[in-house]
Amino acid sequence: RVDALLQASRALRDFPGQFQGDAIEMSRTSLKAAQMCHPQERNTAGHVFGGVLIRRAMEIAFATAFTYGGTEPRLVALERVDFLKPVHVGALLAFSSIVTLTETPPETTQSVSQPGYVHVYVSARTWKPQNLESTLNNDFRFVFAIDKAPRPLKPVVPSLRSEAELQLFARPRYPDSSSS
């Protein structure tokens, strides 16, 4: 299934003028932000409180869905959070987001004003520039509704195997939607 997802992106990447469709490569939807972790954000164990990490991840996911959908998105679900490693106070934390899947309402219900959906994956990595180290600490999966998009949501296609895997893990909201 991963290889089938990658086939569409090869045509888009290698033959953009001949590509049949209006898809966008997933990598072009990415946003990044880096922040320091402060003492007031620590929990009783001395690490950064998980709620702070979720809020920061949600903020970049919101910005990603907003810039992609063209209108203010509405959070529908925080589908998954993985706290892989603790984040220490004083750490430089880098967030990366990417649109993994877009969904439009099925043709039969478009007159009923159903929203489109944008699925966003966010990773949080601790950076140690002095050691040239980067460690994955957390990952998050969000779903946003785009209620009044100024134009139809374009599907996204993966260019890398890791992007294709992220797309396969997204849970569609519409069972038989024209999703990417």
Q: End-to-end CA distance of the chain, in Å?
A: 13
Q: Specify the DSSP element, H or E, that contains 7.
A: helix 2-14
Would strands 74-83 and 92-103 be described as parallel, antiparallel, or unpaired?
Answer: unpaired
Q: Work out the pLDDT band at 79, boundaries 50, 70, 90.
A: very high
Mean pLDDT of the chain: 85
Residues 113-138 have pLDDT tens digits of: 567 899 999 999 999 988 899 999 99
Residues 143-178 have pLDDT tens digits of: 999 988 777 888 898 989 999 999 988 877 765 544
Residues 22-52 have pLDDT tens digits of: 788 898 899 999 999 999 999 989 899 999 9
Rg (CA), the chain: 18
Residue 150's pLDDT is: 78
Would strands 24-25 and 156-157 be described as parallel, antiparallel, or unpaired?
Answer: parallel
Residue type, 138: N
Evaluate whether 153 touches 24 at the Cβ level (below 8 Å): no
Question: What span, in angstroms and rounded, lies between the C-alpha atoms of 153 and 148?
Answer: 11
Q: What is the reported pTM?
A: 0.85
Residue 8's pLDDT is: 67
Question: What span, in angstroms and rounded, lies between the C-alpha atoms of 58 and 148?
Answer: 21
